[in-house]
Every structure is written in C-alpha cells, then in structure tokens.
Amino acid sequence: MENFSGKTAVISGATRGIGGAITHNFLEAGARVIGLYAGNTEAAALFMEEHSRFAPQLELVQCDVASESQVASLFAMIEEKYESIAILVNNAGIRRDAVLALMTTSQWQQVIDTNLTGTYLMAKQAVLLMMKNKYGRIINITSPVAHMGFPGQANYAASKAGQIALTKTLAKEVAKKKITVNCVSPGFIATDFINTLDQELLLEYKKMVPMKRFGTAQEVADAVLFLASSRATYITGTVLDVNGGL
Ligand code: NDP
C-alpha cells in the first residue's frame, strides 16, 4: 500500500458507511484525515473510539457541507492549522425518495443542497488551497443512477449527474495545476443508506446485479485510495464504476 504520510485528506461523511471505510483506508496508509460528519455524534464518537490508535492523525469536525458559512469556517481552520490539503473526498450524501409527481420542494432541495451544492462548496475551497501547492486529488462519490435514472430518485439522480458534470468541468480547469478530479460510482453498497429499504426490494435489487451480491464499503474505499495514489497521475475527469457489473 502506498504511504500517504505527510498528506492531509478531507473526507465528508467520514464516520459511517462508505466514508468510514475511506477514512480507515487513508489512516492506515498514513495520511492525516479531517473527517466530517453532519449530526450523528454517536457514530462519530464510536468511530473515534474504534480508531483511537490513529488519534494523532484523525480530526473529526461537525460540518454541514451544504452550508457555505460552515464550509468556509472549516477551510479557514484547515489553512491556519495545516496550510493546505492534498486530497478531498466528497462522499457525504443523502436521499429523500419520492416519485416526482409527489416530491416536495423540500425533498428536492435538501438532496441538491447536500449532494451537489456541498460538492461545489467543498471543491471550490479545496482547489483554492491545492492550487498553491500545484498538487491535489479530488474524488467525488456519485452513483449509477446519474445515467440510469431510478424511480423515486429524480432529486438524487439529478444531484449525482450534476456531480459528474462538475467533475469533468473542474478536471479541465485545474489539470495544468496537477490537480486531478474524478468520480467513484458505487453500485448497491450495504450501508445504512440502503439497509433501511424494504427487504423484498433489496432482494430484487440484488438480482439486478450481475455479481448477485451487494458491494462492501471497503471495495469502494479501495477504488478511492487508488485514484488518490501516485498510480493514478494521468487519470482525470473520469468515473470509476464499482458496481459488480450493473
Ligand atoms: P450513509 O447514509 O451510510 O452515510 C452518509 C454520510 O454522509 C454520513 O456520515 C452523514 O453524516 C454524512 N452526511 C449526510 N449529510 C451531510 C451533510 N449535509 N454534511 C456533512 N455530512 C453529511 O451513506 P453511504 O455511506 O452509503 O453513502 C456515501 C456516499 O455514497 C453518498 O454520497 C451516497 O450517495 C453514495 N452512494 C451510496 C450507495 C449505496 O448503495 N450505499 C450507492 C451509490 C452511491 P452523519 O453520520 O452525521 O449523519
């Protein structure tokens, strides 16, 4: 495994599910991690306890990625304390499912605000720091529904498609500064995100996957670590699918 010591990574949604595995991977690889969570202080405390052996490398911060002022304060703190960052993983995401005809404006807006505006706010601040060092890796966690669509997820699919468009555009803007910007697109991954769905529905979804199983958070985290590594220097503006063949 590549050694990331001396590199600082900011990871959103860092204390549960896919983000928890991503954070774990970077800590094991020697990186310093600033891990963000929204409001689940219990999960954050448990994550910190389980990773106490990495204590000097790990800082958890409660920060709503959809809030411009909270993201600005976070990056002001980071600049003061650590000067810059090498890696940003925009993993925080929510879903508020409803068929479009019945979707409330609030359901639409919450998902766009967290998944898409959050990615914009975080990437903007990160790029300003990364440009100083002429180095950076930005990895956005999108979803196959961005191009497939999925009933009940017009808000979510639009937010994830927007992330891909943002990724491809930003990749072109910062390529000369040696900053790469990519997406990882997980298929069905067994986390709280889908575990709350109806069990029969989950069985149907499993049948849709050619590998006939859901993926693990670890399998997604390994793809993220690869894109952040020195083995991925010429990869930018792409989407890496981790979906069992969907
Ligand atoms: P989880 O629901 O398990 O975890 C979501 C994480 O995002 C939590 O840590 C949560 O914080 C954090 N979060 C939510 N809203 C905000 C916010 N406004 N600001 C900061 N953090 C926030 O989800 P997964 O781990 O399954 O999903 C992670 C990413 O992967 C998401 O972007 C999701 O869309 C994407 N994805 C997931 C798939 C799956 O099947 N699981 C499939 C395809 C994509 P807190 O703990 O405080 O609530």
In Å, how far are 50, 194, 218 from 55, measured between CA atoms? 10, 30, 21
The CA 119 to ligand 1 mean position distance, Å, reads: 13
Query: What's the domain range around 237?
Result: 8-241
CATH for 73? 3.40.50.720
Does residue 76 fall inside a structural domain?
Answer: yes
- In terms of Cβ atoms closer than 10 Å to its own Cβ (0-12, 13-18, 19+), residue 39 is exposed
Helix axes 68-82, 118-133, angle to 10 degrees: 20
Number of structural domains in the chain: 1
The pLDDT value given to residue 93: 98
How far is 75 from 168, CA to CA, in rounded Å? 23
Q: What is the pLDDT along the chain (246 residues), one digit of tens a residue?
A: 899 999 999 999 999 999 999 999 999 999 999 999 999 999 999 999 999 999 999 999 999 999 999 999 999 999 999 999 999 999 999 999 999 999 999 999 999 999 999 999 999 999 999 999 999 999 999 999 999 999 999 999 999 999 999 999 999 999 999 999 999 999 999 999 998 889 999 999 999 999 999 999 999 999 999 999 999 999 999 999 999 999
Q: Is 234 a catalytic residue?
A: no
Is residue 42 in a domain? yes
Per-residue pLDDT at 27: 98
Contact 186 CB / ligand 1 (< 6 Å): yes
pLDDT at 161: 98
Q: What is the pTM of this model?
A: 0.98
Q: Is residue 195 part of a domain?
A: yes
The backbone torsions φ and ψ at residue 204, rounded to the nearest 5 degrees and listed phi first, read -60, -45
In contact, 36 and 11? CB cutoff 8 Å:
yes
Q: Residue 35: inside a domain, yes or no? A: yes
Evaluate whether residue 2 is within a structural domain.
Answer: no
The span from the CA of 120 to the CA of 99, in Å, is: 26
pLDDT for the residue numbered 196? 87
171 belongs to a structural domain: yes
| pLDDT for residue 241 | 98
Structure tokens, 7: 């590199």
Q: Which residues of 83-96 are buried (b: 16+ CB within 10 A; e: fewer)?
A: ebbbbbbbbbbbbb
Backbone angles phi, psi at 96, to 5 degrees: -135, 80
Tell whether 235 is covered by a domain: yes
In a domain, 3, yes or no: no
Rounded to whole angstroms, the Cα distance separating 70 from 31 reads 24
Atom of ligand 1 nearest to the CA of 92: 7
| Amino acid at the residue 186 | P
Q: What residues are paired with 87 via a beta bridge?
A: 9, 137
Decide: 239 in ligand 1 pocket, CB within 6 A: no
Q: Give the H/E segment covering residue 12.
A: strand 8-12
